[in-house]
């Protein structure tokens, strides 16, 4: 689930392209398009006199996306409740409170809605974007043939 699913604040930068010279060096550097990100990598390397040849490794780019928060695991919650009840009332009938089935799916949907609304009400959503689809980029052939 995501903040945008519940009217929460979406972190700035979502949809931008992050770039860097290693996969660990991409935070804080973003552009609005892949072409602009590649252009920044080229400019930086040109200024340092280290421009690679066309087809050689240039750097990395990736997409900033809205962070996902896992939905509550209702099956696990039910197993915890049953375990606690068995400590008090030992033993319980088999399948006393099943942790699978349509009614459990219904409960999971309802708990997810309540949890998402609570996260929005109290400002608990992540305030940073996640990085996905990180991939290497190669040095393009520059117009005019110069490097």
Same domain, 132 and 63: yes
Coil, strand or helix at 63 = strand
Considering the domain architecture, whether residues 30 and 52 belong to the same structural domain is answered as: yes
Domain presence at residue 7:
no
78 and 98 assigned to the same domain: yes
Structural domain count of the chain: 2
pTM exceeds 0.95, yes or no: no
Look at residues 74, 67, 81 and name the one whose alpha carbon lies nearest to residue 13: 67
Mean pLDDT estimate for the chain: 90
One DSSP character per residue, 45-95 reads HHHTT-PPPTTSEEEEEEEEEPPP-PPP-HHHHHHHHHHHHHHHH-PPPTT
**Residue count of the chain:** 147
Q: Determine the longest span between alpha carbons in the chain, in angstroms.
A: 81
Section 36-42 average pLDDT? 94
Per-residue model confidence (pLDDT) at position 144: 63
- The residue range of the domain holding 36 is 12-67+128-142
pLDDT at res. 94 = 79
Choose between 139 and 99: higher pLDDT: 139
Q: What confidence tens digit (pLDDT) does each residue in 97-125 have?
A: 877 788 889 999 999 999 999 999 999 99
d(Cα 104, Cα 74) in Å, to the nearest integer?
7
């Amino acid at each position: 689930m995501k903040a945008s699913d519940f009217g929460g604040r979406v972190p700035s930068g979502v949809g931008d392209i992050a770039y860097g010279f290693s996969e660990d060096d991409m935070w804080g550097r973003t552009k609005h398009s892949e072409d602009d990100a590649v252009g920044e990598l080229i400019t930086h390397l040109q200024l340092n006199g280290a421009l690679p040849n066309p087809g050689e490794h240039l750097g990395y780019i990736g997409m900033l996306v809205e962070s996902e928060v896992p939905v509550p695991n209702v099956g696990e919650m039910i197993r915890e409740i049953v375990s606690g009840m068995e400590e008090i009332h030992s033993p319980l009938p088999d399948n006393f409170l099943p942790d699978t089935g349509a009614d459990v799916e219904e409960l999971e949907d309802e708990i997810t809605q309540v949890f998402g609304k609570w996260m929005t009400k109290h400002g608990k959503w992540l305030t940073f974007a996640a990085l996905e689809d990180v991939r290497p980029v190669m040095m393009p052939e520059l117009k005019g043939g110069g490097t």
